[in-house]
Structure 1
Amino acid sequence: MVFYFTSNAAAAPYTIYMGKDKYENEDLIKHGWPEDVCFHVDKLSSAHVYLRLQPGQGMDDIPKEVLSDCAHLVKANSIQGCKLNSVTVVYTPWTNLRKSPDMDVGEVGFHRSKEVRSVRVERRAPEQLRRLERTRVERFPDLAAERLSRDRRERGRQRQELREQRREQRLETQRKREMEELRSYSSLMKAENMSSNQDGNDSDDFM
Protein backbone atom coordinates (compact mmCIF):
# COMPACT_ATOMS: atom_id res chain seq x y z
CA MET A 1 0.00 0.00 0.00
CA VAL A 2 1.18 3.49 -0.84
CA PHE A 3 -0.18 6.65 0.77
CA TYR A 4 -0.56 9.68 -1.50
CA PHE A 5 -0.90 13.25 -0.26
CA THR A 6 -1.42 16.55 -2.04
CA SER A 7 0.41 19.65 -0.89
CA ASN A 8 -1.61 22.76 -1.72
CA ALA A 9 0.69 25.04 0.24
CA ALA A 10 2.12 26.64 -2.92
CA ALA A 11 0.49 28.10 -6.03
CA ALA A 12 0.60 24.73 -7.83
CA PRO A 13 -0.28 21.42 -6.11
CA TYR A 14 2.43 18.82 -5.53
CA THR A 15 2.07 15.07 -5.03
CA ILE A 16 3.76 13.54 -1.99
CA TYR A 17 3.77 9.80 -1.36
CA MET A 18 5.23 7.20 0.99
CA GLY A 19 5.10 3.47 1.60
CA LYS A 20 3.18 1.84 4.44
CA ASP A 21 6.25 0.00 5.76
CA LYS A 22 9.89 -0.79 5.02
CA TYR A 23 8.96 -3.46 2.49
CA GLU A 24 7.04 -0.97 0.41
CA ASN A 25 9.96 1.39 0.82
CA GLU A 26 11.99 -1.17 -1.11
CA ASP A 27 9.60 -0.95 -4.05
CA LEU A 28 9.64 2.85 -3.91
CA ILE A 29 13.44 2.84 -3.96
CA LYS A 30 13.46 0.46 -6.92
CA HIS A 31 10.73 2.06 -9.03
CA GLY A 32 11.08 5.76 -8.23
CA TRP A 33 11.07 8.42 -10.93
CA PRO A 34 13.90 10.79 -11.89
CA GLU A 35 11.51 13.60 -10.95
CA ASP A 36 11.25 12.34 -7.34
CA VAL A 37 12.98 13.78 -4.28
CA CYS A 38 13.34 11.48 -1.26
CA PHE A 39 13.02 12.72 2.35
CA HIS A 40 14.19 10.85 5.46
CA VAL A 41 14.87 11.74 9.08
CA ASP A 42 18.63 11.92 9.52
CA LYS A 43 20.18 9.16 11.68
CA LEU A 44 16.75 7.86 12.77
CA SER A 45 14.36 5.30 11.40
CA SER A 46 11.53 6.91 9.46
CA ALA A 47 9.28 6.54 6.47
CA HIS A 48 10.65 7.38 3.03
CA VAL A 49 8.62 10.34 1.84
CA TYR A 50 8.81 11.24 -1.85
CA LEU A 51 7.97 14.52 -3.53
CA ARG A 52 7.23 14.34 -7.26
CA LEU A 53 8.49 17.35 -9.18
CA GLN A 54 7.46 18.43 -12.63
CA PRO A 55 9.81 17.48 -15.52
CA GLY A 56 12.65 19.96 -15.66
CA GLN A 57 12.35 21.01 -12.02
CA GLY A 58 15.13 20.49 -9.48
CA MET A 59 15.51 20.76 -5.73
CA ASP A 60 16.06 24.52 -6.03
CA ASP A 61 12.54 24.80 -7.47
CA ILE A 62 10.78 23.29 -4.44
CA PRO A 63 8.67 26.00 -2.77
CA LYS A 64 9.63 26.44 0.88
CA GLU A 65 6.05 25.68 1.96
CA VAL A 66 6.09 22.35 0.12
CA LEU A 67 9.52 21.58 1.55
CA SER A 68 8.09 22.18 5.01
CA ASP A 69 5.14 19.86 4.29
CA CYS A 70 7.49 17.04 3.31
CA ALA A 71 9.77 17.59 6.31
CA HIS A 72 6.92 17.57 8.83
CA LEU A 73 5.31 14.55 7.20
CA VAL A 74 8.49 12.48 7.40
CA LYS A 75 9.07 13.55 11.01
CA ALA A 76 5.52 12.57 11.96
CA ASN A 77 6.11 9.13 10.44
CA SER A 78 9.28 8.39 12.37
CA ILE A 79 8.75 6.29 15.51
CA GLN A 80 11.56 8.10 17.30
CA GLY A 81 11.45 11.40 15.46
CA CYS A 82 7.78 12.05 16.14
CA LYS A 83 8.55 12.14 19.89
CA LEU A 84 11.25 14.77 19.55
CA ASN A 85 10.72 18.50 19.38
CA SER A 86 13.25 18.92 16.59
CA VAL A 87 14.93 16.66 14.06
CA THR A 88 17.04 17.06 10.94
CA VAL A 89 15.46 15.84 7.73
CA VAL A 90 17.71 15.03 4.78
CA TYR A 91 16.53 15.01 1.19
CA THR A 92 18.06 14.15 -2.16
CA PRO A 93 17.00 13.30 -5.73
CA TRP A 94 15.82 9.73 -6.23
CA THR A 95 18.66 9.28 -8.75
CA ASN A 96 21.13 9.80 -5.88
CA LEU A 97 19.79 6.89 -3.80
CA ARG A 98 22.13 3.93 -3.49
CA LYS A 99 21.00 0.42 -2.61
CA SER A 100 23.57 -2.36 -2.13
CA PRO A 101 22.94 -6.09 -1.43
CA ASP A 102 24.34 -5.88 2.11
CA MET A 103 21.79 -3.27 3.22
CA ASP A 104 18.76 -4.16 5.33
CA VAL A 105 15.22 -3.93 3.99
CA GLY A 106 14.27 -0.28 3.59
CA GLU A 107 17.83 0.90 4.15
CA VAL A 108 19.39 3.19 1.58
CA GLY A 109 22.54 5.23 1.06
CA PHE A 110 23.67 7.97 -1.29
CA HIS A 111 25.93 8.01 -4.33
CA ARG A 112 27.05 11.63 -3.87
CA SER A 113 26.93 13.40 -0.52
CA LYS A 114 27.06 16.82 -2.18
CA GLU A 115 23.58 16.20 -3.57
CA VAL A 116 22.13 15.63 -0.09
CA ARG A 117 20.51 18.61 1.62
CA SER A 118 19.00 19.02 5.04
CA VAL A 119 16.29 21.01 6.75
CA ARG A 120 15.67 21.37 10.46
CA VAL A 121 12.17 20.75 11.83
CA GLU A 122 12.07 22.72 15.05
CA ARG A 123 8.47 22.40 16.17
CA ARG A 124 5.31 20.35 15.84
CA ALA A 125 2.80 21.40 13.20
CA PRO A 126 -0.55 19.72 13.91
CA GLU A 127 -2.56 21.98 11.59
CA GLN A 128 -0.12 21.41 8.76
CA LEU A 129 -0.31 17.65 9.24
CA ARG A 130 -4.11 17.69 9.46
CA ARG A 131 -4.25 19.59 6.17
CA LEU A 132 -2.10 16.94 4.50
CA GLU A 133 -3.99 14.07 6.15
CA ARG A 134 -7.26 15.31 4.67
CA THR A 135 -5.80 14.73 1.20
CA ARG A 136 -4.51 11.22 1.87
CA VAL A 137 -5.43 8.51 -0.61
CA GLU A 138 -4.49 4.83 -0.15
CA ARG A 139 -3.62 2.91 -3.31
CA PHE A 140 -2.08 -0.38 -4.39
CA PRO A 141 -0.24 0.77 -7.51
CA ASP A 142 1.79 -1.30 -9.91
CA LEU A 143 4.92 0.79 -9.43
CA ALA A 144 6.91 -1.06 -12.09
CA ALA A 145 4.19 -0.56 -14.71
CA GLU A 146 3.83 3.13 -13.80
CA ARG A 147 7.57 3.62 -14.22
CA LEU A 148 7.55 1.87 -17.60
CA SER A 149 4.65 4.06 -18.73
CA ARG A 150 6.50 7.17 -17.57
CA ASP A 151 9.64 6.10 -19.45
CA ARG A 152 7.66 5.52 -22.66
CA ARG A 153 6.15 9.00 -22.42
CA GLU A 154 9.56 10.50 -21.78
CA ARG A 155 11.09 8.73 -24.77
CA GLY A 156 8.21 9.99 -26.91
CA ARG A 157 8.74 13.53 -25.66
CA GLN A 158 12.46 13.32 -26.37
CA ARG A 159 11.82 12.00 -29.89
CA GLN A 160 9.40 14.85 -30.53
CA GLU A 161 11.97 17.38 -29.27
CA LEU A 162 14.60 15.81 -31.53
CA ARG A 163 12.25 16.04 -34.53
CA GLU A 164 11.59 19.70 -33.74
CA GLN A 165 15.31 20.41 -33.41
CA ARG A 166 16.03 18.75 -36.75
CA ARG A 167 13.18 20.68 -38.37
CA GLU A 168 14.56 23.96 -37.01
CA GLN A 169 18.02 23.02 -38.26
CA ARG A 170 16.66 22.32 -41.75
CA LEU A 171 14.77 25.63 -41.76
CA GLU A 172 17.86 27.49 -40.57
CA THR A 173 19.98 25.84 -43.28
CA GLN A 174 17.36 26.81 -45.88
CA ARG A 175 17.25 30.41 -44.60
CA LYS A 176 21.06 30.67 -44.79
CA ARG A 177 21.07 29.28 -48.33
CA GLU A 178 18.39 31.73 -49.44
CA MET A 179 20.31 34.63 -47.87
CA GLU A 180 23.50 33.56 -49.65
CA GLU A 181 21.63 33.35 -52.96
CA LEU A 182 20.10 36.79 -52.35
CA ARG A 183 23.50 38.31 -51.57
CA SER A 184 24.95 36.69 -54.69
CA TYR A 185 22.12 38.06 -56.84
CA SER A 186 22.45 41.52 -55.31
CA SER A 187 26.17 41.49 -56.10
CA LEU A 188 25.50 40.69 -59.75
CA MET A 189 22.98 43.53 -59.96
CA LYS A 190 25.36 46.22 -58.67
CA ALA A 191 25.82 49.14 -61.12
CA GLU A 192 29.57 48.64 -61.48
CA ASN A 193 29.00 45.03 -62.53
CA MET A 194 26.51 46.00 -65.27
CA SER A 195 27.23 47.20 -68.83
CA SER A 196 25.26 49.10 -71.47
CA ASN A 197 25.39 49.82 -75.22
CA GLN A 198 27.22 53.00 -74.45
CA ASP A 199 30.10 50.95 -73.13
CA GLY A 200 30.59 49.41 -76.52
CA ASN A 201 29.01 46.19 -75.56
CA ASP A 202 26.20 46.26 -78.12
CA SER A 203 25.35 42.73 -78.95
CA ASP A 204 23.76 43.70 -82.35
CA ASP A 205 26.67 44.06 -84.80
CA PHE A 206 25.51 46.00 -87.96
CA MET A 207 27.75 46.80 -90.84
Structure 2
Amino acid sequence: MRWPTMAVMEPRVATAPPLAEQVYELIIDDICSGVIKGGEQLRQEAIAARFGVSRQPVQQAMVLLKRHGLVRESGRRGLEVVPMDPAFVNHLYDMRELLDVHAVKLSAGSFDQDTDLSALNEIVNRGVEAVEARAFSEMVTADADFHMFFYRLTGNPFLLDTAVLLSQSIRRVMTEVLARGGVPDWVWEEHQAIAEAVIRGDIDEAGHCAHHHIEHGRSMMLEAMSCT
Protein backbone atom coordinates (compact mmCIF):
# COMPACT_ATOMS: atom_id res chain seq x y z
CA MET A 1 0.00 0.00 0.00
CA ARG A 2 1.34 3.41 -0.94
CA TRP A 3 0.67 6.28 1.40
CA PRO A 4 -0.07 9.63 -0.21
CA THR A 5 2.79 12.09 -0.19
CA MET A 6 2.15 15.05 2.09
CA ALA A 7 3.58 18.40 1.17
CA VAL A 8 5.81 20.01 3.76
CA MET A 9 4.29 23.32 4.76
CA GLU A 10 6.58 26.32 5.02
CA PRO A 11 6.31 28.27 8.28
CA ARG A 12 4.02 31.26 7.82
CA VAL A 13 5.80 33.45 10.36
CA ALA A 14 9.44 33.81 11.30
CA THR A 15 10.50 32.11 14.50
CA ALA A 16 11.04 34.64 17.27
CA PRO A 17 14.50 34.79 18.89
CA PRO A 18 14.83 32.90 22.19
CA LEU A 19 13.47 34.88 25.12
CA ALA A 20 16.92 35.21 26.73
CA GLU A 21 18.26 36.86 23.56
CA GLN A 22 15.32 39.26 23.51
CA VAL A 23 15.98 40.23 27.13
CA TYR A 24 19.69 40.59 26.33
CA GLU A 25 18.92 43.03 23.50
CA LEU A 26 16.54 45.03 25.70
CA ILE A 27 19.18 45.37 28.41
CA ILE A 28 21.78 46.36 25.79
CA ASP A 29 19.42 49.08 24.55
CA ASP A 30 19.03 50.36 28.12
CA ILE A 31 22.80 50.42 28.66
CA CYS A 32 23.50 52.19 25.36
CA SER A 33 20.71 54.73 25.87
CA GLY A 34 21.83 55.52 29.42
CA VAL A 35 18.70 54.16 31.12
CA ILE A 36 21.08 51.83 32.97
CA LYS A 37 24.27 53.69 33.93
CA GLY A 38 27.82 52.40 34.11
CA GLY A 39 28.51 51.06 37.61
CA GLU A 40 24.81 50.49 38.28
CA GLN A 41 23.82 47.23 39.92
CA LEU A 42 21.62 44.92 37.87
CA ARG A 43 18.80 43.46 39.95
CA GLN A 44 17.37 40.42 38.24
CA GLU A 45 14.01 40.68 39.97
CA ALA A 46 13.53 44.28 38.84
CA ILE A 47 14.57 43.49 35.26
CA ALA A 48 12.25 40.47 35.12
CA ALA A 49 9.36 42.58 36.39
CA ARG A 50 10.09 45.40 33.96
CA PHE A 51 10.13 43.15 30.90
CA GLY A 52 7.35 40.86 32.13
CA VAL A 53 9.41 37.66 32.12
CA SER A 54 10.57 35.09 34.65
CA ARG A 55 14.05 35.24 36.19
CA GLN A 56 15.38 32.38 34.05
CA PRO A 57 15.75 34.32 30.75
CA VAL A 58 17.17 37.24 32.74
CA GLN A 59 19.81 34.96 34.26
CA GLN A 60 20.66 33.63 30.80
CA ALA A 61 20.90 37.17 29.44
CA MET A 62 23.29 38.07 32.28
CA VAL A 63 25.60 35.24 31.22
CA LEU A 64 25.74 36.70 27.70
CA LEU A 65 26.30 40.23 29.00
CA LYS A 66 29.14 39.07 31.21
CA ARG A 67 30.71 37.05 28.39
CA HIS A 68 30.60 40.11 26.14
CA GLY A 69 32.31 42.30 28.72
CA LEU A 70 29.34 44.55 29.46
CA VAL A 71 28.70 43.51 33.06
CA ARG A 72 30.99 42.22 35.79
CA GLU A 73 30.93 40.71 39.25
CA SER A 74 30.77 43.26 42.03
CA GLY A 75 31.26 41.33 45.26
CA ARG A 76 28.13 40.97 47.34
CA ARG A 77 26.31 43.43 45.10
CA GLY A 78 26.11 40.81 42.36
CA LEU A 79 26.52 42.13 38.82
CA GLU A 80 27.02 45.70 37.69
CA VAL A 81 27.39 47.43 34.34
CA VAL A 82 31.05 47.92 33.48
CA PRO A 83 31.72 51.68 33.76
CA MET A 84 32.80 53.36 30.54
CA ASP A 85 35.89 54.99 32.01
CA PRO A 86 39.31 55.61 30.40
CA ALA A 87 40.41 52.05 31.21
CA PHE A 88 37.33 50.66 29.42
CA VAL A 89 38.03 52.82 26.35
CA ASN A 90 41.72 51.91 26.24
CA HIS A 91 41.05 48.19 26.59
CA LEU A 92 38.43 48.30 23.85
CA TYR A 93 40.56 50.33 21.46
CA ASP A 94 43.58 48.11 22.10
CA MET A 95 41.51 45.20 20.82
CA ARG A 96 40.19 47.22 17.90
CA GLU A 97 43.75 48.14 16.96
CA LEU A 98 44.72 44.47 16.82
CA LEU A 99 41.62 43.24 15.02
CA ASP A 100 40.57 46.10 12.73
CA VAL A 101 44.00 46.70 11.23
CA HIS A 102 44.49 42.99 10.59
CA ALA A 103 41.02 42.60 9.04
CA VAL A 104 41.48 45.61 6.76
CA LYS A 105 44.89 44.43 5.55
CA LEU A 106 43.55 40.95 4.81
CA SER A 107 40.62 42.51 2.96
CA ALA A 108 42.92 44.66 0.84
CA GLY A 109 44.76 41.54 -0.22
CA SER A 110 41.65 39.67 -1.29
CA PHE A 111 39.21 42.39 -2.39
CA ASP A 112 37.17 41.40 -5.45
CA GLN A 113 35.99 44.34 -7.54
CA ASP A 114 33.17 42.30 -9.05
CA THR A 115 31.63 40.91 -5.86
CA ASP A 116 32.69 43.31 -3.07
CA LEU A 117 32.74 46.83 -4.53
CA SER A 118 29.01 47.56 -4.68
CA ALA A 119 28.41 46.34 -1.12
CA LEU A 120 31.24 48.47 0.30
CA ASN A 121 30.16 51.57 -1.63
CA GLU A 122 26.58 51.11 -0.41
CA ILE A 123 27.71 51.12 3.24
CA VAL A 124 29.94 54.18 2.78
CA ASN A 125 27.20 56.12 0.99
CA ARG A 126 24.69 55.16 3.67
CA GLY A 127 27.03 56.36 6.41
CA VAL A 128 27.74 59.70 4.73
CA GLU A 129 24.01 60.27 4.16
CA ALA A 130 23.24 59.43 7.81
CA VAL A 131 25.78 61.99 9.03
CA GLU A 132 24.42 64.66 6.67
CA ALA A 133 20.87 63.94 7.87
CA ARG A 134 21.99 63.76 11.54
CA ALA A 135 20.19 60.41 11.72
CA PHE A 136 21.84 59.05 14.87
CA SER A 137 20.49 55.50 14.81
CA GLU A 138 21.47 55.10 11.16
CA MET A 139 24.95 56.46 11.95
CA VAL A 140 25.54 53.76 14.56
CA THR A 141 24.25 51.04 12.23
CA ALA A 142 26.33 52.20 9.27
CA ASP A 143 29.48 52.45 11.38
CA ALA A 144 29.01 48.90 12.66
CA ASP A 145 28.25 47.62 9.15
CA PHE A 146 31.40 49.28 7.77
CA HIS A 147 33.77 47.57 10.17
CA MET A 148 31.95 44.23 10.12
CA PHE A 149 32.19 44.23 6.31
CA PHE A 150 35.96 43.75 6.54
CA TYR A 151 35.72 41.09 9.25
CA ARG A 152 33.37 39.07 7.06
CA LEU A 153 35.55 39.62 4.01
CA THR A 154 38.52 37.94 5.73
CA GLY A 155 36.67 34.62 5.74
CA ASN A 156 38.16 33.95 9.18
CA PRO A 157 35.37 32.71 11.49
CA PHE A 158 37.47 33.20 14.65
CA LEU A 159 38.18 36.82 13.76
CA LEU A 160 34.51 37.40 13.00
CA ASP A 161 33.34 35.78 16.25
CA THR A 162 35.73 37.94 18.27
CA ALA A 163 34.48 41.05 16.48
CA VAL A 164 30.89 40.11 17.30
CA LEU A 165 31.82 39.80 20.99
CA LEU A 166 33.16 43.35 20.92
CA SER A 167 30.38 44.79 18.79
CA GLN A 168 28.05 45.77 21.64
CA SER A 169 30.82 47.59 23.52
CA ILE A 170 31.67 49.43 20.30
CA ARG A 171 28.00 50.30 19.88
CA ARG A 172 28.01 51.65 23.43
CA VAL A 173 31.00 53.89 22.66
CA MET A 174 29.41 55.10 19.42
CA THR A 175 26.22 56.00 21.26
CA GLU A 176 28.29 57.94 23.79
CA VAL A 177 30.01 59.81 20.95
CA LEU A 178 26.61 60.84 19.61
CA ALA A 179 25.45 61.92 23.06
CA ARG A 180 28.51 64.15 23.36
CA GLY A 181 27.80 66.08 20.18
CA GLY A 182 27.53 63.72 17.25
CA VAL A 183 29.94 62.07 14.84
CA PRO A 184 32.63 64.46 13.56
CA ASP A 185 33.02 64.75 9.79
CA TRP A 186 36.44 63.10 9.94
CA VAL A 187 34.93 59.74 10.95
CA TRP A 188 33.45 59.01 7.54
CA GLU A 189 36.26 60.81 5.74
CA GLU A 190 38.61 58.28 7.35
CA HIS A 191 36.22 55.44 6.52
CA GLN A 192 36.36 56.52 2.89
CA ALA A 193 40.17 56.58 2.98
CA ILE A 194 40.21 53.03 4.38
CA ALA A 195 37.74 51.87 1.72
CA GLU A 196 39.72 53.46 -1.11
CA ALA A 197 42.96 51.80 0.03
CA VAL A 198 41.24 48.41 0.28
CA ILE A 199 39.67 48.81 -3.17
CA ARG A 200 43.10 49.64 -4.64
CA GLY A 201 44.56 46.57 -2.96
CA ASP A 202 47.10 48.74 -1.11
CA ILE A 203 47.67 46.59 1.98
CA ASP A 204 50.14 48.89 3.75
CA GLU A 205 48.07 52.03 3.19
CA ALA A 206 44.88 50.27 4.28
CA GLY A 207 46.56 49.20 7.52
CA HIS A 208 47.95 52.70 8.07
CA CYS A 209 44.53 54.30 7.55
CA ALA A 210 42.86 51.81 9.90
CA HIS A 211 45.50 52.41 12.59
CA HIS A 212 45.10 56.18 12.28
CA HIS A 213 41.32 55.86 12.48
CA ILE A 214 41.41 53.76 15.65
CA GLU A 215 43.87 56.05 17.41
CA HIS A 216 41.89 59.13 16.37
CA GLY A 217 38.76 57.59 17.87
CA ARG A 218 40.57 56.65 21.07
CA SER A 219 41.94 60.18 21.50
CA MET A 220 38.53 61.74 20.88
CA MET A 221 36.83 59.60 23.53
CA LEU A 222 39.56 60.07 26.15
CA GLU A 223 39.59 63.83 25.58
CA ALA A 224 35.80 63.99 25.90
CA MET A 225 35.95 62.05 29.18
CA SER A 226 38.60 64.37 30.60
CA CYS A 227 36.26 67.33 30.05
CA THR A 228 33.38 65.89 32.08
TM-score (norm 2): 0.21
TM-score (norm 1): 0.22
Larger radius of gyration: 1
Structure number with the bigger relative contact order (C-alpha 8 A, sep ≥ 6) is 2
Q: Higher strand share goes to which structure?
A: 1
Q: Higher helix share goes to which structure?
A: 2
